[in-house]
Amino acid sequence: MKRYELIAPCHFGMEAVLKREITDLGYDVSHVEDGRVTFIGDDEAICRANIGLRTAERILVKVGSFHAETFDELFENTKELPWEMYIPVDGKFWIAKAASIKSRLFSPSDIQSIMKKAMVERLKQVYHVNWFAEEGQNFPVRVFLMKDTVTVGLDTTGDSLHKRGYRKYIAKAPIAENLAAAMIMLTPWKSERILVDPFCGSGTIPIEAALMAANIAPGMKRGFTALRWEHLISKKIWDDCYEEAREQVDLSVSVKIEGYDIDPEMVKIAKQNAHLAGVEHLIHFDIKDVGQLANEGKYGFIITNPPYGERLEEKTTIPTLYKKLGEQFRALDTWSLYLITSYEEAQRDIGRKADRNRKVYNGMIKTYYYQFMGPRPPRKTSNIENSVIKV
């Protein structure tokens, strides 16, 4: 199989989580930078990464990288890339997105236009044609410019990987599925421990936790752009990777995952989404105010995405809401609290300084992921240690 350099973009601040995921899949990470992890893999890696990675945005095949300070350099260097290795004569190709940071070339529309022309010129020479009908499969290209270094990737994914397919109904301020998964993966939560989201909205955090507990791959029920690239990846490889994911599912797992919201409509939506995800039997949803947050269990986790106060109608109620959360959390004296918010007075109103916090971008909003650690549960004593040897 051909080996590729694969690029997996992710939320800024979640690179370490994605790196661990890629390593756990069995692939070597070659480079980590803000918002992207690069790794080495073959045809199968493209399939397995799309189906199995929970925290990535998409999977790109790196076509090449080069230095460009002028549009002439951008054109000539783009033209030098081996596009014919990927795009057949009938392929539909375009620059789907161009992003530029600290570079002399900064206009996305100009970058897209010039690179498309360069691709056409290259493929005209290779295929000995004067124009392209572009009636075949899609080959979207994404480009990143950082300090005049241009990185070019062919998008194997299509719709972002956060679109698992289960969230047909959403809340007013939903959290992306891959960010919710990353939040959970940054905690020590395991399926035998309690997890509660008291601001569950459309249910994303509890659903992502249930998918993890049941070992359901996030991309198992969706398709990808590269599924139709049969000249690069055979259908059998895709079929084998989907089958591998199905074989790992365990719907009989016993978990305690709960989601609450004060809005009855949101709870209804959360239940519908959990049903579409196939995990409704693993989550208990209920209508509750955060002031009713209580649980008799020990060493549980609150993982949540509370309102940030970004809307005018929320600003007067936000301090009280965070104070309520802090009060209920203190009563759960063995629990841990993990929350993402842009509200700057979160720690003050909760009544405790976070043990850790991590800057994360939730869409275009700069937020902090606050981590309030509870005590570790006592170590389980093995049967051997408990046994008494009699002579």
Q: 128's torsion region: left (phi>0), alpha (psi -120 to 50) or beta?
A: left
Question: pLDDT per residue over 197-228, tens digit each?
Answer: 999 999 999 999 999 999 999 999 999 999 99
pLDDT of residue 382: 57
Which segment of 132-146, 168-182, 247-261, 268-282 scores lowest on mean pLDDT? 168-182
Least confident of 21-35, 231-245, 266-280, 373-387: 373-387
386 close to 358: Cβ distance less than 8 angstroms: no
Q: CB under 8 Å to 268, separation ≥6 — which residues?
A: none
- pTM of the entire structure? 0.94
How does residue 40 score in pLDDT terms, banded at 50, 70 and 90?
Answer: very high
Chain mean pLDDT for the chain? 94
Q: Locate tokens 């994404």: which residue?
A: 142
The reported pLDDT for the residue numbered 389 is 41
Q: How many other CB atoms are found less than 10 A from the CB of residue 97? A: 14
Q: Which amino acid is at 179?
A: L
Per-residue pLDDT of 298-341, as tens digits, reads 999 999 999 998 776 677 899 999 999 999 999 999 999 999 99
Across 140-154, average pLDDT: 98
pLDDT of 209: 98
